Chain A
């Protein structure tokens, strides 16, 4: 699993992932913060709904798309974690009856 080479979080910021509160270091991207918290699945793929997670971490692959404060399709690797951010796994846009 991912760990921080420095010992403790010095400037904590509190975010929520799927309702779970997570303390992260200020200045961390949403993707890095979630990976450090042991999260691997960020979204469900549009076609087969398979789980996907961050791949390139530099804004190229769009695999780390999450829903942030109700807005979908946000690139977790390009957005800094902010206090009170509510993050959810991005679900494929499909009919409720198909699920």
Chain B
């Protein structure tokens, strides 16, 4: 089994920056990433994107080019198409490569740079074919230059406007934008404005996007409530209330977005402690000032450490690598302080964004008839009923109902299940906690498992 000073999971901005900094400091590094090329979702297809697509995606996206080039040249062992399915306490990592079977490596330090996932968006009809996340539309545009000419965007958050702007630039404007941000949010967020002003370039970009969208004439519905998707076998229409009226827009494609949350599968698997972040409405691994988890030598960089965006992700990646190098005897303190200062400045916009675009209550606590677990088809009402029968937390609800036991392993229902239980029991969300995550992190062919070099045969019965 090959062994490395540092194993990095994920080749987005955090993973790439971490690998660059670690190799620069003489550490041996392996980077395992699930995608065919580096970039993560934010810089997806950054190495191969055409000029035409690059013009649509904008300058923030293209900032990933230099990072990916530096990453390619940094000397780290990079394994693409590698799905990590188990990590044990001794930092032995099992990963699978499509068609090539499984392999294992070990490391002294682990950097989890698996980024964010889109917050689940339960609502009536959200399982119908034709309904995607807004992020999915952006991935199709980045990786494949694919755009849909019949999309209604629904939800809230900066990504929703970015996707709309990019679609507009590609000359396939969305049919409508249905914004679910409740009224009065701007006033609430205003108290964070002084700090946000120190990160003025973000504010300016956001305002420019909104101005462009308003000028475009795309129908815009504010403060939308009671949103549902209609359709028998595929999506046919979006219905909602806005401005005191009921609306119905016929469409074949609906893209949903309610912000992003850390992908916590690996930190949960490794039994790192997590805390509920009430501002970001999600669980975040408990970290020290250098992004080390509650388990020694395991770090989280990037959005997995709490949502901070691409620039901060790369900075966090660098900081973590510098810290690991310091532990191995390198003098990196001055550089660490420099990165910490930049990180603090880049985060100034966050409290404003988090308050303004906090998910709407109807998304966090869906009505009884809304399907929450897509795999096992469990509704919010069934979860509340299980709580009434005595299930105190997500793992008991899972035993009662099988929710979280399908192929997605709770990724699409976990956050909502926790919220529903906390609300129904009138408890703090952090107290309710989350599903216990077990290996394999992703479904695995039995043959692959059987082919792994086994430990010496046990001669005594178990």
Contact A63 B374, CB 8 Å, known A1-B150, A6-B50: yes
**Overall SS of chain B's interface:** loop
Contact: A42 with B412, CB < 8 Å? Answer: no
CB-defined contacts of B143 to chain A, threshold 8 Å:
29, 32
Contact A48 B145, CB 8 Å, known A53-B129, A62-B407, A73-B407: no
CB-defined contacts of A79 to chain B, threshold 8 Å:
98
* Cβ-neighbour of A60 out of B36, B127, B147, B412 (below 8 A): B412
CB-defined contacts of B411 to chain A, threshold 8 Å:
60-61
Contact: B149 with A3, CB < 8 Å? Answer: yes
Contact: B117 with A58, CB < 8 Å? Answer: yes
CB-defined contacts of A56 to chain B, threshold 8 Å:
117-118, 132-133, 135-136
CB-defined contacts of B252 to chain A, threshold 8 Å:
1
Contact A51 B135, CB 8 Å, known A1-B252, A5-B147, A80-B36: no
- The count of residues in chain B whose C-beta lies closer than 8 Å to any C-beta of chain A is 49
Tell me if A45 counts as interface (CB < 8 A to partner B). yes
Cα separation A47 to B407 with both chains bound (whole Å): 12
Cα separation A78 to B233 with both chains bound (whole Å): 25
Cα separation A53 to B145 with both chains bound (whole Å): 20
- Residues in B170-199 with C-beta less than 8 Å from chain A: 170, 172
CB-defined contacts of B34 to chain A, threshold 8 Å:
59, 78
Cα separation A42 to B145 with both chains bound (whole Å): 21
Tell me if B144 counts as interface (CB < 8 A to partner A). yes
Tell me if A91 counts as interface (CB < 8 A to partner B). no
Interface centre among A48, A51, A58, A78 (most CB of B within 10 A): A58
Cα separation A77 to B48 with both chains bound (whole Å): 18
Tell me if A99 counts as interface (CB < 8 A to partner B). no
Tell me if A46 counts as interface (CB < 8 A to partner B). yes
Contact: B129 with A36, CB < 8 Å? Answer: no
CB-defined contacts of B41 to chain A, threshold 8 Å:
58
Cα separation A51 to B234 with both chains bound (whole Å): 8
Contact: A52 with B129, CB < 8 Å? Answer: yes
Tell me if B131 counts as interface (CB < 8 A to partner A). yes
Interface centre among A47, A54, A57 (most CB of B within 10 A): A57
CB-defined contacts of B129 to chain A, threshold 8 Å:
40-42, 51-53
Tell me if A66 counts as interface (CB < 8 A to partner B). no
Q: Report the minimal beta-carbon distance from B366 to chain A, rounded to whole angstroms.
A: 16
The 5 closest A-B pairs by CB, nearest first: A53-B129, A62-B407, A57-B136, A40-B129, A47-B377
Please give the residue numbers on chain A whose beta carbons come within 8 Å of chain B beta carbons, in ascending order: 1-6, 25, 27-29, 32, 35-36, 40-42, 45-48, 50-63, 65, 73, 78-80
A–B Cβ pairs within 8 angstroms, 9 of them: A2-B147, A3-B149, A3-B172, A5-B141, A56-B118, A60-B408, A60-B411, A61-B411, A78-B34
